[in-house]
Chain A
Amino acid sequence: MLDPQELKNTPLFTSHKELGAKLAPFGGWLMPIQYSGIIEEHSWVRKSAGLFDICHMGEFMVQADLSKSNLGNLVTINLESMPQRACRYGFMLNEQGGIIDDLLVYRISNAEWMIVVNAATTNGDLAHLQKHLNKATGLENVSQSLGKLDLQGPQAQEVLADLAGPKVKDLRYYNFDYFNLLGEKIVISRTGYTGELGYELYMPNNKIPELWEKLLSDGRVKPIGLGARDTLRLEMGYSLYGQDIDKNTTPLEAGLNYFIDWDKDFIGKPALLKQKQEGASRRMIYFIADSRRSPRHNYRIIYQDQDAGSVTSGSFSPSLGFGIGMGYVNCQILPGEQIVLRENSISINAKVTGKPFYKNGSAKSGEIK
């Protein structure tokens, strides 16, 4: 057990205490897990708007003219084709094709970028970037000074437009822009981890408490902890780094091929190509239980009486009213097939399905389908 003294606090620690949050360690930080209750918070995000303290995540500012910098070689996505003010989700891989981190890349201008990474991996990512980036690339870790709040839910757009102006409504899915807010010029992107219409706001740490209070003063907004963040992302079938994906899993095994550009070179590509050719020895499946019972991390996945793998993430789905989960198996199991999830005396019947589990998310509302 980590000494709580060693855990880092976000600028909102006092607010969380005042709001009566249950706090727990996450990625080296003491974070709010829940306020009023996970299910109530989860449902609030699905119908109104929820505010998340995400100050623990890491951010790097990168100066990289792609004609000289090798930044593109460190990520699986195509940076050249990214328009300015666009965001893209992708991976940083090791030589074996394992995922060092999943990340969001923001193209600020032609040669300016922001990379947003997971809290627990920030230092490792930084070391990897420093080791591999060439001299034509500038790199600054701004994680200590830059905070982040996520506002997510079908009401998020209206709430934010009242605060930052109607220009917010012009932001399209996976795009960002600069907005004047509380005397600062800040990045707001239309992105998130919940499946709902939502935004991620990047604000200097010293202004984070003011922004938090301002957003919470809107009756449509409630604070949401990491507990509901986890059930929300799981209902969408989004992977959580350190649990569903890590340095020993590849994007192919995780079924995240969509975020790989095979027409460019990147660290880990030869290993991925080899795996693609030979076929991955395991793959991610998604499943729904026949009851309210939750599959949980490390439960065995039994298919046709054989042990086929294990659960990486599982939970009760507040939106569906059933247990849901995901995990790796060593054989092909098609949607519709039955599996059993087992640990000791617990045995849960489940059916393999596709993702997302929750299909009514508002994330892409207003977009041309």
Chain B
Amino acid sequence: MTVPDNLLYTKDHEWARIDGDKATMGITDFAQHSLGDITFIDLPKPGAKVKQSEWCATVESVKAASDIYAPLSGEILKANTQLTDHPELVNKSAYEAGWLAVIKISALEEKNKLMNSIQYKEYIQGLS
């Protein structure tokens, strides 16, 4: 299970890559592996306001529909519309081509509630 060093992580297995006042978000390799083949993604809508740890998207696999929570509060700037026809990109490339959305961060201090890669690695080891 890959856990890149430069990202921040939630307990619900979302990741965030902070770049200035923006954050790209997605679901982790651990999450895509647990879900199995991803068949549909209800993406966040650009312009929508999201709050940390609250629902922002739904990812469906063959077996189940799973809620995705925003890693940080803010406004959705854009969503990865490539996933509409190719949701399997999340399985193939959870941290790159499979990103879900970009958030304009409204409260940067919230990042202190997220885990770094070392903490997240320990966290998922405890789950398996």
Contact = CB atoms under 8 A, between A and B. Distances in A.
Nearest to A33: B63
Contact of B62 (A227, A291, A346): A227
Interface stretch (B32-40, B44-52, B97-105, B111-119): B32-40
A126 interface: no
B39 A227 contact: no
B60 A293 contact: yes
A292 interface: yes
Interface of B: 36-37, 39-40, 42, 58, 60, 62-65, 87-88, 91
Given A291-B40, A294-B40, A39 B62 contact: yes
A294 B37 contact: no
Contacts of A346: 42, 58, 65
A318 B87 CA distance: 13
Given A38-B62, A227-B36, A227-B63, 12 more contacts: A22-B36, A33-B63, A37-B91, A40-B37, A227-B62, A294-B39, A294-B40, A294-B60, A294-B62, A315-B62, A316-B39, A346-B42
A34 B91 CA distance: 15
A231 interface: yes
A296 interface: yes
Given A316-B39, A316-B40, A296 B87 contact: no
A292 B87 contact: yes
Contacts of B36: 22, 34, 37-38, 227
13 contacts: A37-B37, A39-B62, A227-B62, A227-B63, A292-B40, A294-B39, A294-B60, A294-B65, A315-B62, A316-B60, A316-B62, A318-B62, A346-B58
B40 A293 contact: yes
A4 B62 CA distance: 24
Chain A residues touching B, majority SS: mixed
A321 to B, nearest CB: 9
A38 B35 CA distance: 11
Contacts of B58: 346
Nearest to A42: B62
Q: Which interface residue of A33, A291, A292, A318 has the most chain B CB atoms within 10 A?
A: A292
A38 B40 contact: no
B4 to A, nearest CB: 23
Nearest to B40: A292
A63 to B, nearest CB: 42
A227 B65 CA distance: 15
B59 to A, nearest CB: 11
Nearest to B88: A39
Contacts of B64: 296
Interface in A228-249: 231
A187 to B, nearest CB: 32
Contacts of A34: 36
Nearest to A316: B39
Nearest to B55: A345
Contacts of A39: 37, 39, 62, 88
Contacts of B63: 33, 38, 227
Contacts of B87: 292
A61 B100 CA distance: 55
A192 B21 CA distance: 57
A38 B37 contact: yes
B62 A296 contact: no
Contacts of B40: 291-294, 316, 323
A346 B36 CA distance: 21
A346 B58 CA distance: 10
A231 B65 contact: no
